[in-house]
Amino acid sequence: MKLSDLDTPAVLIDVDRADANLQRFQAYADAHGLRVRPHIKTHKLPRFAKRQVELGAVGITCQKLGEAEVMADAGLTDIFIPYNIIGKAKLDRLVALHNRIKIAVTADSAATVSGLAAAFAGSAKPLDVLVECDTGMGRCGVQTPDAAVALAKVIDAAGDLRFAGFMTYPKAGGVPQNQAWLAAAKQKAADAGLDPRIISNGGSPDMWRAHEVTAATEHRPGTYIYMDRFQVAKNAGTWDDCALTVLATVVSRPTDNRAVIDAGSKSLSSDTFGMEGFGRIVEFPDAVITSLSEEHGTIDLSACTLKPQIGDRVRIIPNHACVVSNLFDSVVLISGDEVVDIAPVAARGRVG
Amino acid sequence: MKLSDLDTPAVLIDVDRADANLQRFQAYADAHGLRVRPHIKTHKLPRFAKRQVELGAVGITCQKLGEAEVMADAGLTDIFIPYNIIGKAKLDRLVALHNRIKIAVTADSAATVSGLAAAFAGSAKPLDVLVECDTGMGRCGVQTPDAAVALAKVIDAAGDLRFAGFMTYPKAGGVPQNQAWLAAAKQKAADAGLDPRIISNGGSPDMWRAHEVTAATEHRPGTYIYMDRFQVAKNAGTWDDCALTVLATVVSRPTDNRAVIDAGSKSLSSDTFGMEGFGRIVEFPDAVITSLSEEHGTIDLSACTLKPQIGDRVRIIPNHACVVSNLFDSVVLISGDEVVDIAPVAARGRVG
């Protein structure tokens, strides 16, 4: 089966590029003695999670329990969920999952630790808990290294939990700040007689500077497998590294400078990350996808010398690859122009 | 089952509000002699499509073939697809669907008409084709009333197609411009001896002014069933009309003025429609959802006197209800605090 046999819109994954991206970062991390624990949110596919482990990853990262359950069902055995697991329903699922495979989670409050401690009371297998640290991102996380150590002590004092270290999702561009924060937390933990075995750093935008965060023991890249327009803007990769594209058809050419494609926000998502436009059209790099409706992408062709015609197909590198994976029931794996396989996105839509 | 028994995030549909919204617009349209052809993209649920017809809708609207196939399978028999259907794979599906139920489509170019004519050549049942008109939105559509009539003639001349009228998705706030455009096209069509039986107008933001577009014979509201933050901003409804909310849990309170919930862009979508923030929190209307990651919603509580605690649940009216329906495999139908049913979102993800 060839690309030309596919109907549109469709998500194409260039498996050769994806594999090269995985190998490149693993080799970099190996060279710096840094462990890799990839975030599967980008691909949501067991086959790529397994390939990441095969290449040397120490395990995988899932953002939600539902994703981890899918990956455990597929045979993954070491999963980190860097999330505050709250409420009886989720805690019961967490205990069940921990009884099957190796699980670690994060906490950024005594309230979260208290829930975990109650759920794991009397457990045969203590649960690894890392303290989530806000080293600059401004999302979850304790606010200071001292607060990190204080929460580590709370975890350490809860009998069936095991303090395992520190975790951060850092602010893009904040490498020195992140390193200083984590190094301070590490030192203060040691001073308090605690052992932060794992110091887990994350993110793809600054992944080639991961070795500068010397306090970290592992890195959790996600988007690196597919790359996207934002990662290229951040110089994490080049256009030729981008493995995920959305195949679309030009369905309308209402004016000389306007085209409309059959991929809108239901295919590309509305994520902009502050950039102009909603993706890069591979065949028409000077075109601008100026607006999206759910099923229409409107394109300004003013800057293009060559212009597409109705029925032409184009491939779009989206602003954000991860959210595109979440919009499609299946993705098409390709090698060159050849369709290799069609893969259901097994962990799609697992928000809980 | 009660709301309190649900895990989060979950999409809640208040069935009483939804039904009141449907009845209110149907009554308005009936009073003005305007037909209603609701767009199912908002709910994607056969049960609500059937209810819309039961209340008086002449049929339904689907944006893509895949949605129409789901609705036809569920028993809907009159479906308008206001889209340029391009390419053999989709044209074959269109013919198959048209053989089962009553279908109409749009075209805005001779290229689209030519594909339709070839696919329906020799068909026992001619296909109704409306000309899509760009009356101000700047998306698809012919650019002038004269161009609309010219394309109507092309359709009329294609043996197995039947020119059925004009269709527009108008610019929000452009009621007089829309009316003038359609009235001109109608007059020019009559002058050319053509009969635009259907003049189909759309959109929820200006739906209470639909009667001012006297050229139109029908209206295609979508979001009116659920309403959302954007529709309230456009005065199409009130907060108390909003039938879709996302139930979420506060998972972190890193600072006095920051909360993080377990609903991010995978639950609320990144759609802003130019508004500040990513939704309205019913219990904390002064809170601002300032940013979304895929699984985190970050909230600024600066303006709140009362503030939520970790583990508290909140309900969010999203900026755009339709895209939220598309993100969840199922929605929870509620009446007050009682769970009435859990409904699979049958037409979710049908992008092709």
Residue A258: list chain B partners with CB under 8 A: 138
Superfamily name with CATH number, domain A16-225: Alanine racemase (3.20.20.10)
Superfamily name with CATH number, domain B32-224: Alanine racemase (3.20.20.10)
In this complex, do A260 and B139 lie within 8 Å of one another by their Cβ atoms? yes
CB count in 10 Å sphere of residue A85? 23
- DSSP class of residue B142 equals B
Break chain A down into helix, strand, coil percent, rounded to 5: 35, 25, 40
Residue B352: list chain A partners with CB under 8 A: 7-10, 262
The upper half-sphere exposure of residue A86, i.e. CA atoms within 13 Å in the direction of its Cβ, equals: 24
In this complex, do A310 and B111 lie within 8 Å of one another by their Cβ atoms? yes
Residue B69 gets the label, from left (phi > 0), alpha (psi -120 to 50) or beta, of alpha
Quick one: average pLDDT of A206-215? 98
The CATH classification number of B3-10+237-344 equals 2.40.37.20
Residue from B116, B295, B314, B345 whose CB has the most chain A CBs within 10 Å, to mutate: B295
pLDDT at position B53 is 98
pLDDT at position A124 is 86
pLDDT at position B159 is 85
Residue B348 · residue B329 · CB < 8 Å: yes
Quick one: average pLDDT of B302-317? 98
- DSSP class of residue A248 equals E
- DSSP class of residue B330 equals E
In this complex, do B252 and A329 lie within 8 Å of one another by their Cβ atoms? no
pLDDT at position A223 is 98
Quick one: average pLDDT of B33-61? 98
| Fold matches, B3-10+237-344 and B32-224 | no
Quick one: average pLDDT of B250-279? 97
- Chain-centroid distance, C-alpha B153: 30
CB count in 10 Å sphere of residue B214? 15
Q: How far is B15 from chain A (nearest CA, A)?
A: 23
Please write the tens of the pLDDT for every residue from B110-135: 999 999 999 999 988 999 999 999 99
Quick one: average pLDDT of B271-277? 96
pLDDT at position B291 is 97
pLDDT at position B214 is 98
In B, minimum Cα distance to A143 occurs at B254
Give the separation between CA B133 and CA A27, rounded to whole angstroms. Answer: 55
Please tell me which residue, A327 or A123, carries the higher pLDDT value. A327
**Whether the bond into B46 is cis, omega within 30 of 0:** no
Give the separation between CA B16 and CA B151, rounded to whole angstroms. Answer: 44
pLDDT at position A188 is 98
Amino acid at B65: L
Which among A271, A348, A347, A328 is positioned nearest to B349, based on CA atoms?
A328
> Is A2 in a helix, a strand, or coil?
strand
Confidence of residue A224 (pLDDT cuts 50, 70, 90): very high
In this complex, do A295 and B255 lie within 8 Å of one another by their Cβ atoms? no
Residue A248 · residue A267 · CB < 8 Å: yes
Is the pLDDT reported for residue A98 higher than 90? yes
Give the separation between CA A156 and CA A164, rounded to whole angstroms. Answer: 9
Q: How far is A243 from chain B (nearest CA, A)?
A: 20
Residue B347 · residue B68 · CB < 8 Å: no
Residue from B251, B261, B329 whose CB has the most chain A CBs within 10 Å, to mutate: B251
> Is B302 in a helix, a strand, or coil?
coil
Quick one: average pLDDT of B42-63? 98
Quick one: average pLDDT of A46-67? 98
Rg (CA), chain B: 22
Per-domain residue ranges for chain B?
3-10+237-344, 32-224
Quick one: average pLDDT of B338-343? 98
pLDDT at position B124 is 86
- DSSP class of residue B175 equals H
Is the pLDDT reported for residue A45 higher than 90? yes
DSSP secondary structure string, B192-251? TT----EEEEE-STTGGGGGG-TT-SEEE--GGGT--HHHHHTTSS-GGG--EEEEEEEE
Confidence of residue A347 (pLDDT cuts 50, 70, 90): very high
User: What residue has token string 């590294």?
Assistant: A241
pLDDT at position A159 is 85
Query: How many inter-chain contacts (A to B, CB under 8 Å) are there?
Result: 170
Residue from B261, B265, B294 whose CB has the most chain A CBs within 10 Å, to mutate: B294
Confidence of residue B345 (pLDDT cuts 50, 70, 90): very high
pLDDT at position A193 is 98
In this complex, do B89 and A7 lie within 8 Å of one another by their Cβ atoms? yes
In this complex, do A349 and B329 lie within 8 Å of one another by their Cβ atoms? yes
Distance in Å from the first CA to the final CA of chain A: 36
Quick one: average pLDDT of B33-37? 98
* Residues sharing a CB contact under 8 Å with residue A67, sequence separation 6 or more, in sequence order: A40, A41, A44, A347, A350
In B, minimum Cα distance to A265 occurs at B323
User: What residue has token string 């759609």?
Assistant: B271
Residue A266: list chain B partners with CB under 8 A: 323, 326, 349, 351
